């Protein structure tokens, strides 16, 4: 797919013929320096943004070309989101935030599943609290729980640990990992943190709107090395 | 960058929000300046009219009262023709002309349709004289030359489709006479709506005064070089006592005074509404600036951090307010002139002709408008400006995020409750008042205090009320409703202030509708209780019944009796020597059957015995008069007689309160025949079983006299209800202005809420909230704010209305009736007001780009 802004002289290509498959039941990380187009890629994949050309499929459904109404439904029913910050509605309690996508859809949450998700992220004690009564880590865990609770086909995370200290970040990433391993969840996460990327099964490297490399079963050190490598090449070229 | 520059930039950066506040200022200022322009224009119109019609000096009979348009006898006081010659001989007199004018006439066309004005302006019948040519110009036909000629003014001719040769019948106390239109005149100045007919002098004397050789006024013009005052002195010396002399200036003053009463009522009523609009506007302005300051907290913090002083920040906000005030007021003054023109058009359509040629904009009008608009705006912005000054430099560094839940302070709650309680206590005192005077002071105090209390305590009530409304209204809408409820509760102070703006208008609506419907209910109840007559014949503006119309009524078959009711002016002296200028109600002895008055002492029917009368209980108490006392009654223009008090009627009544009754025969013995007043009204009862036929026959009999209306009891009640209803509708119409301003406030609050919650909205859209759901959420929030305001306002207003009724019970407003249909309609209507206010903000929220919303910092 291609994503470009403007036209003619001022045309800026954010995604330059990116072709990518995201495997079901796996944890994929998208890495790259600022301005590499990793957030744009995620927004397009998640149906938040439109592409200039190309096609995107979620399972059998083509999301490119869907009208806003269908896209909204798709996001509501089949996709989960975790953002870097401002994930929760301040007026709703933790549990209300978690069940919000299902409430909006008018679906009843599966009580059994909900309990399991809540237990997994360790929030059972704080469900009645408002977001401003929770710590940053707790807030992100609520966001993870919300993404998981609706059993979406895929969860997109945009720097989900970017605002957390390393301990809280590790906790959240641990939950994401667990949900892939134990619950079979598919997750795509955008990050620039090699440690975060090391939790994934596969890392895609993006630079200047292209996928330049990928790595299976990454470790933090290997990711870091690869990043340094890119940086060095970037400087010499 | 200077403070002024920053303010300017901010002002223009928030054009949209400022525009709404400016509209509020505009509306209020427009109402004030429109009222001023309108009343000034009316004054100009009348001044011009008086200026051209008045002669240098006017001689009238002493006892003619110019404000009493219709003398009770139906015949104007007159002067002998010989007086004109006497005046002519006075020193400095160039010319003197006798004139005949009567306002006690009704003119009908060949189809018996009244050609008089419907606006309350009079029909004036005058004799044709050269004097008239000062104000009019004959544009068709010829002047009246003989007893069958009449000239009519152009406006009336056009309105009623009259042409030369058409017949007009004039109904005067001395009888009817028919004339043919010989000419039509155009006014050279604006005639504000009177119907004027001109007769040949002898015809006017015969037809209006009963015989030739009489005038109602002598118009005197001075020789060159003689001042009006000198002329007046000369004429006075020549005539001696017993005449009323006025210079042109005095006559104009007297005329203006007549009109001024009517104009003042209108002026103060409209200024009152302008005041309400201002009050509501203040809420809007306070809210707008509070929101702007809240939104700019970081920016202000930054300015403080880089060295702006508190004062500078404070001043920059006030300068923005000043700009807003100036822009709103200038536009408001312009709109006010437009409003005045619109009002003039409206009056024209109701028969009161006003010409835009007379449009008068005094320099004071824009001055007052601007001063008021700017002052109010700056004062309203003062509190938010101070808050802006208090923003600490640290605010720049903190993550602003969403504004914290504004917890309304405990102090605020205490003050609000205290005010409300004081208001309630004052209202309670008002309901217990024994006299209307102090009672109404308590009522006013109670209204002001309770309103203030509600405004202060509003944000605290918002929590409870919105939650309660949520259970009833919002839960149906599931999670969207719940979010709307939470959003409305998020900043109770803002919700409170927004709702309060709506509350004021609706409180007044509720209060007035309670008083209005209690008025109708009380009057109906009293009519049922006291009126025994089947029919009542009267004129809408209080003109008495001419003898020929009365004769027609008396001839109607199927009537058991007709009761005349005459009002005879008299001065009454009690045994202790106290005097009382009042009138006696001289009626037929059948009166007590037609109107059942309760007595506190004696038997009312005895009052129709020889030398007897009754008095009202208020008079009896005040003057220490008891049954058996004898009063000295000096009839105006008649004899002085001694009458014995045989009964005291209760004054706890609306019908004929305070009337002193005596027999017609008692009055006629004391008065010369030509001084006997006409009947103020007639009461009649049908023979058993003939009600319907008699009613129809009465209507038929009065067809040639369209100025009188005959009603049976049911129609009379219906008319009463219509009258009150019409009055209320006008008031509601004006209050709509306050509600418009309040709606602007809701729009403003919502628009800002949408901007503030951009990220939240983006998040919700990202996780699957559809556009429709988003729009619904904002609409519901708006509805809930509107319903909150309505609930408070209606509750408050019903409290005021009930207190007012309890107080007015002293004046006979004995029945409390809460107009539930109106109240409910207004409540439901306010939900629609909320929906309407949310239209644009909801649309804009729906259009927000999801990605931008998420990315916005």
Q: What is the pLDDT of residues B397-443, one digit of tens each?
A: 654 444 444 444 678 788 888 999 999 999 998 888 877 778 888 99
Same domain, yes or no: B551 and B624: yes
Distance from B766 to chain A by nearest Cα, in Å? 7
Q: Is B659 within 8 Å of B585 (Cβ atoms)?
A: yes
Mean pLDDT value of segment B692-698: 91
CA distance B181 to B150: 5
Determine the 3-state secondary structure of B217 from DSSP: strand
Site of tokens 């208090």: B390
Same domain, yes or no: B699 and B716: no
Determine the 3-state secondary structure of B599 from DSSP: strand
Question: Do the Cβ atoms of B771 and A72 come within 8 Å?
Answer: yes
Mean pLDDT value of segment A18-32: 88
Helix and strand tally (H, E) in chain B?
24, 24
Same domain, yes or no: B830 and B844: yes
Which chain A positions have a beta carbon within 8 Å of B487's beta carbon?
A: 91
Distance from A221 to chain B by nearest Cα, in Å? 31
Instruction: Take residue B573 and report the two structure tokens written for it.
Output: 């002296």
Task: Give the containing element (helix H, strand E) for A125.
Answer: none
Which chain A positions have a beta carbon within 8 Å of B756's beta carbon?
A: none
* Closest residue on chain B to A46 (Cα): B766
* Closest C-alpha to B592, from B643, B680, B659, B669: B659
| % of chain B beyond a pLDDT of 70 | 96
Domain stop point among B653, B673, B706:
B706
pLDDT confidence band for A232 (50 / 70 / 90): low
Distance from A8 to chain B by nearest Cα, in Å? 24
The pLDDT assigned to A237 comes to: 44
How many whole angstroms from its chain centre is CA B216?
A: 34
Q: Is A63 within 8 Å of A57 (Cβ atoms)?
A: yes
Q: How many degrees, rounded to 5, is the angle at CA A180 between CA A174 and CA A182?
A: 90
Who among B487, B767, B851 is closest to A91 (CB)?
B487
pLDDT confidence band for B853 (50 / 70 / 90): low
Distance from B290 to chain A by nearest Cα, in Å? 21
CA distance B415 to B409: 10
Residue-wise pLDDT tens digits, B641-664: 999 999 999 887 777 888 899 999
Q: Is B369 within 8 Å of B33 (Cβ atoms)?
A: yes
**Residues ≥6 apart with Cβ < 8 Å to B588:** B561, B562, B563, B564, B664
Q: For all residues of chain A together, what is the average pLDDT?
A: 84
Same domain, yes or no: B602 and B640: yes
* Closest residue on chain A to B757 (Cα): A89
pLDDT confidence band for B3 (50 / 70 / 90): low
Q: Is B686 within 8 Å of B695 (Cβ atoms)?
A: yes
Residue B825: count other Cβ atoms within 10 Å of its Cβ.
Answer: 12
Instruction: Take residue B344 and report the two structure tokens written for it.
Output: 């003039």
Distance from A173 to chain B by nearest Cα, in Å? 21
* Closest C-alpha to B571, from B638, B636, B626, B624: B636
Which chain A positions have a beta carbon within 8 Å of B479's beta carbon?
A: 100, 103-104
In this structure, is residue B423 part of a structural domain? Answer: no
Mutate to test the interface with A, among B768, B772, B784 (most CBs of A within 10 A): B768
Strand B167-172 versus strand B175-187 pairing type = antiparallel
Residue-wise pLDDT tens digits, B5-41: 777 777 777 777 778 788 888 888 888 898 889 888 8
Residue-wise pLDDT tens digits, B125-176: 999 988 888 889 999 999 999 899 999 999 899 989 999 999 999 999 888 9
Q: Give the A-side interface with B, CB within 8 Å.
A: 43, 46, 48-49, 68-69, 72-73, 75-77, 80-81, 83, 86-87, 89-92, 96, 100-101, 103-106, 132, 146
Q: How many degrees, rounded to 5, is the angle at CA B141 between CA B138 and CA B142?
A: 70
* Closest residue on chain A to B847 (Cα): A68
Same domain, yes or no: B720 and B630: no
Domain stop point among B206, B241, B276:
B241
CA distance B143 to B182: 7
DSSP string over B500-540: HHHHHHHHHHHHHHHHHHHHHHHHHHHHHHHB--SEEEEET
Who among A86, A87, A101 is closest to B768 (CB)?
A101
Distance from B402 to chain A by nearest Cα, in Å? 8
* Closest residue on chain B to A43 (Cα): B851
In this structure, is residue B413 part of a structural domain? Answer: no
Whether pLDDT at A47 is above 50: yes
* Closest residue on chain A to B490 (Cα): A91
In this structure, is residue B316 part of a structural domain? Answer: yes
Q: Give the B-side interface with A, CB within 8 Å.
A: 401-402, 404, 478-480, 482-483, 486-487, 489-490, 759-760, 763-771, 773, 850-851, 854
SS3 labels along B72-123: CCCCCCCEECHHHHHHHCCCCEEEEEEECEECCCEEEECCCCECCCCCCCCE
Residue-wise pLDDT tens digits, B580-593: 888 889 999 999 98
Torsion of CA B404, B410, B416, B418, to 10 degrees: 180
Same domain, yes or no: B500 and B617: no
Q: For all residues of chain B together, what is the average pLDDT?
A: 85
Who among A69, A75, A105 is closest to B766 (CB)?
A75
Same domain, yes or no: B716 and B839: yes
Question: Do the Cβ atoms of B851 and A101 come within 8 Å?
Answer: no
* Closest residue on chain B to A155 (Cα): B767
* Closest residue on chain A to B777 (Cα): A104
| % of chain B beyond a pLDDT of 90 | 27
User: To the nearest 5 percent, what fractions of chain B are helix, strand and coil?
Assistant: 60, 15, 25
Regarding the domain with residue range A3-236, which homologous superfamily does it belong to in the CATH classification? P-loop containing nucleotide triphosphate hydrolases (3.40.50.300)
Whether pLDDT at A37 is above 80: yes
In this structure, is residue B290 part of a structural domain? Answer: yes
Question: Do the Cβ atoms of A104 and B769 come within 8 Å?
Answer: yes
Same domain, yes or no: B105 and B182: yes
* Closest residue on chain A to B853 (Cα): A48
Which chain A positions have a beta carbon within 8 Å of B850's beta carbon?
A: 48
Mutate to test the interface with B, among A3, A41, A80, A86 (most CBs of B within 10 A): A86
Distance from B763 to chain A by nearest Cα, in Å? 7
Tell whether the torsion through CA atoms of A167, A171, A173 and A177 is positive or negative.
positive
pLDDT confidence band for B857 (50 / 70 / 90): very low
Mean pLDDT value of segment B749-771: 84
Question: Do the Cβ atoms of A83 and B767 come within 8 Å?
Answer: no
Distance from B395 to chain A by nearest Cα, in Å? 18
CA distance A137 to A170: 10
Question: Do the Cβ atoms of A73 and B768 come within 8 Å?
Answer: yes
Q: Is B292 within 8 Å of B324 (Cβ atoms)?
A: no
Which chain B positions have a beta carbon within 8 Å of A49's beta carbon?
A: 851
Same domain, yes or no: B47 and B75: no
A27 DSSP β-pair partners: A187
CA distance A38 to A50: 15
Who among B763, B765, B769 is closest to A86 (CB)?
B763
Same domain, yes or no: B665 and B747: no
Determine the 3-state secondary structure of A165 from DSSP: coil
* Closest C-alpha to B712, from B848, B558, B562, B535: B535
CA distance A184 to A189: 16
Same domain, yes or no: B741 and B837: yes
* Closest residue on chain A to B759 (Cα): A86
pLDDT confidence band for B673 (50 / 70 / 90): confident
Which chain A positions have a beta carbon within 8 Å of B482's beta carbon?
A: 96
The pLDDT assigned to B348 comes to: 78
* Closest C-alpha to B784, from B484, B504, B507: B484
- Please tell me the total count of domains within chain B: 4
Who among B402, B478, B770 is closest to A103 (CB)?
B478
Q: Is B119 within 8 Å of B187 (Cβ atoms)?
A: no
In this structure, is residue B452 part of a structural domain? Answer: no
Same domain, yes or no: B263 and B385: yes
DSSP string over B128-189: --GGGGGTEEEEEE----STTEEEEEHHHHHHHT--TT-EEEEEETTEEEEEEEEEEEEESS
Whether pLDDT at B362 is above 90: no
* B232-236, B350-354, B575-579: least confident range: B350-354
pLDDT confidence band for B633 (50 / 70 / 90): very high
The pLDDT assigned to B403 comes to: 44
Question: Do the Cβ atoms of B768 and A105 come within 8 Å?
Answer: yes
pLDDT confidence band for B67 (50 / 70 / 90): very low
CA distance B704 to B683: 19
Q: Is A198 within 8 Å of A178 (Cβ atoms)?
A: no
Instruction: Take residue A228 and report the two structure tokens written for it.
Output: 């340094």
CA distance A14 to A3: 5
Distance from B782 to chain A by nearest Cα, in Å? 17
The pLDDT assigned to B808 comes to: 85
Residue-wise pLDDT tens digits, B492-526: 888 888 888 889 889 988 998 999 899 888 888 88
Which chain A positions have a beta carbon within 8 Å of B766's beta carbon?
A: 46, 48, 75, 81, 83
Distance from B496 to chain A by nearest Cα, in Å? 18
Instruction: Take residue B410 and report the two structure tokens written for it.
Output: 């405990």
User: Structural domain of residue B261, as residue ranges?
Assistant: 1-54+250-400
The pLDDT assigned to A117 comes to: 83
Who among A75, A86, A132 is closest to B768 (CB)?
A75
HSE-up (13 A, CA, CB side) for residue B778: 34
**Residues ≥6 apart with Cβ < 8 Å to A194:** A31, A220, A221, A223, A224, A227
Whether pLDDT at B70 is above 70: no
Tell whether the torsion through CA atoms of B545, B546, B549 and B555 is positive or negative.
positive
* Closest residue on chain A to B767 (Cα): A76
* Closest residue on chain A to B403 (Cα): A90
Mutate to test the interface with A, among B474, B762, B766, B774 (most CBs of A within 10 A): B766
């Amino acid at each position: 797919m291609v994503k470009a802004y403007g036209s003619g002289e001022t045309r800026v290509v954010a995604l330059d013929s990116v072709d990518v498959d995201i495997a079901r039941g796996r944890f994929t990380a998208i890495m790259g320096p600022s301005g590499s187009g990793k957030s744009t890629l995620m927004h397009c994949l998640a149906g938040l943004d439109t592409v200039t050309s190309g096609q995107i499929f979620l399972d059998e459904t083509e999301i490119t070309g869907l009208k806003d109404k269908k896209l909204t439904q798709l996001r509501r029913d089949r996709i989960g989101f975790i953002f870097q910050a401002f994930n929760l509605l301040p007026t709703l309690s933790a549990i209300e935030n978690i069940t919000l996508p299902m409430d909006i859809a008018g679906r009843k949450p599966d009580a059994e599943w909900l309990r399991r998700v809540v237990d997994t992220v360790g929030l059972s004690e704080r469900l009645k609290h408002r977001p401003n009564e929770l710590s940053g880590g707790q807030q992100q865990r609520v966001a993870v729980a919300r993404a998981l609770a609706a059993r979406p086909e895929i969860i997109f995370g945009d720097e989900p640990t970017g605002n957390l200290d390393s301990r809280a970040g590790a906790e959240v990433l641990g939950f994401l990992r667990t949900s892939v391993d134990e619950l079979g969840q598919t997750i795509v996460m955008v990050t620039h943190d090699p440690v975060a990327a090391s939790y994934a099964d596969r890392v895609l490297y993006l630079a200047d709107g292209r996928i330049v490399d990928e790595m299976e079963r990454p470790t933090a050190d290997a990711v870091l090395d690869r990043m340094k490598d890119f940086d060095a090449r970037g400087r010499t070229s | 960058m200077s403070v002024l520059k920053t303010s300017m930039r901010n002002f223009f950066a928030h054009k949209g929000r400022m525009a709404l506040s400016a509209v509020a200022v505009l509306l209020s200022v427009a109402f004030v300046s429109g009222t001023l322009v309108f009343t000034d224009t009316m004054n100009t119109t009348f001044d011009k009219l008086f200026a051209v019609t008045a002669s240098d000096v006017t001689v009238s009979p002493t006892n003619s009262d110019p404000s009493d348009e219709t003398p009770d006898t139906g015949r104007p006081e007159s002067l002998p023709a010989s007086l004109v010659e006497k005046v002519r001989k006075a020193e400095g007199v160039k010319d003197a002309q006798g004139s005949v004018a009567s306002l006690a006439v009704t003119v009908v066309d060949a189809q018996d349709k009244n050609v008089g004005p419907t606006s309350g302006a009079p029909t004036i019948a005058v004799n044709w004289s050269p004097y008239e040519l000062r104000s009019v110009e004959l544009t068709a036909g010829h002047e009246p030359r003989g007893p069958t000629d009449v000239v009519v003014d152009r406006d009336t001719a056009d309105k009623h489709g009259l042409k030369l040769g058409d017949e007009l019948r004039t109904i005067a106390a001395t009888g009817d006479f028919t004339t043919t239109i010989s000419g039509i005149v155009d006014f050279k100045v604006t005639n504000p709506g009177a119907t004027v007919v001109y007769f040949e002098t002898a015809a006017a004397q015969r037809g209006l005064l009963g015989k030739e050789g009489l005038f109602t006024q002598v118009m005197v013009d001075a020789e060159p070089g003689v001042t009006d005052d000198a002329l007046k002195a000369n004429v006075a010396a020549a005539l001696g006592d017993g005449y009323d002399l006025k210079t042109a200036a005095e006559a104009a003053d007297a005329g203006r005074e007549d009109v001024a009463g009517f104009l003042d009522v209108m002026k103060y009523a409209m200024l009152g509404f302008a005041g309400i609009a201002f009050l509501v506007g203040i809420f809007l302005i306070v809210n707008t600036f509070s929101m702007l300051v809240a939104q700019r907290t970081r920016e202000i913090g930054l300015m403080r951090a880089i060295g702006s002083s508190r004062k500078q920040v404070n001043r920059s906000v006030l300068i923005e307010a000043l700009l807003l005030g100036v822009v709103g007021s200038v536009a408001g003054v312009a709109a006010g002139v437009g409003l005045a023109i619109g009002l003039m058009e409206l009056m024209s359509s109701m028969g009161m002709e006003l010409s835009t040629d007379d449009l008068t904009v005094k320099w004071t009008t824009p001055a007052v408008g601007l001063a008021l608009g700017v002052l109010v705006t700056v004062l309203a912005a003062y509190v938010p400006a101070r808050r802006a000054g208090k923003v600490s430099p640290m605010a720049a560094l903190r993550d602003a995020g969403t504004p914290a839940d504004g917890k309304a302070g405990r102090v605020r709650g205490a003050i609000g409750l205290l005010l409300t309680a004081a208001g309630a206590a004052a209202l309670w005192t008002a309901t217990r008042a024994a006299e209307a005077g102090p009672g109404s002071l308590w009522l006013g105090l109670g209204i002001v205090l309770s309103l203030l209390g509600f405004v202060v305590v509003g944000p605290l009530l918002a929590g409870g009320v919105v939650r309660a409304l949520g259970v009833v209204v919002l839960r149906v809408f599931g999670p969207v409703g719940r979010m709307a409820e939470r959003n409305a509760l998020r900043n109770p102070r803002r919700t409170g202030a927004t709702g309060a703006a709506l509350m004021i208008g609706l409180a007044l609506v509720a209060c007035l509708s309670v008083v209005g419907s209690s008025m109708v209910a009380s009057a109906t109840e009293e009519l049922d209780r006291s009126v025994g007559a089947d029919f009542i014949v009267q004129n809408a503006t209080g003109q008495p019944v001419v003898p020929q119309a009365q004769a027609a009524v008396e001839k109607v078959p199927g009537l058991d009796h007709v009761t005349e009711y005459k009002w005879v002016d008299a001065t009454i002296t009690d045994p202790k020597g106290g005097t009382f200028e009042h009138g006696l109600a001289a009626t037929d002895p059948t009166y007590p059957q037609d109107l059942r008055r309760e007595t506190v002492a004696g038997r009312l029917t005895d009052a129709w015995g020889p030398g007897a009368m009754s008095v009202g209980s208020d008079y009896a108490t005040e003057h220490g008069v008891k049954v058996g006392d004898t009063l000295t009654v000096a009839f105006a223009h008649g004899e002085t007689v001694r009458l014995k008090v045989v009964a005291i009627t209760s004054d706890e009544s609306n019908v004929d309160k305070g009337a002193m009754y005596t027999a017609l025969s008692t009055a006629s013995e004391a008065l010369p025949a030509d001084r006997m007043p006409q009947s103020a009204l007639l009461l009649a009862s049908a023979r058993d079983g003939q009600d319907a036929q008699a009613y129809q026959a009465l209507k038929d009999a009065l067809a040639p006299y369209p100025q009188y209306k005959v009603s049976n009891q049911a129609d009379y009640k219906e008319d009463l209800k219509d009258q009150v209803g019409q009055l209320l509708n006008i008031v509601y119409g004006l209050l709509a202005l306050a509600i418009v301003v309040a709606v602007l406030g809701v729009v403003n609050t919502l628009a800002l809420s949408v901007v503030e919650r951009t990220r939240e909205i983006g998040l919700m859209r990202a996780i699957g909230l559809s556009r429709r759901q988003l729009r619904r959420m904002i609409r519901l929030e708006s509805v809930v704010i509107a319903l909150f305001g309505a609930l408070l306002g209606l509750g408050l207003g019903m409290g005021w209305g009930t207190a007012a009724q309890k107080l007015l019970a002293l004046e006979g407003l004995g029945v409390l009736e809460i107009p539930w249909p109106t109240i409910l309609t207004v409540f439901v209507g306010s939900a629609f007001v909320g929906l309407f206010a949310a239209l644009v903000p909801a649309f804009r929220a729906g259009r927000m780009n999801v990605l931008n919303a998420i990315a916005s910092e």
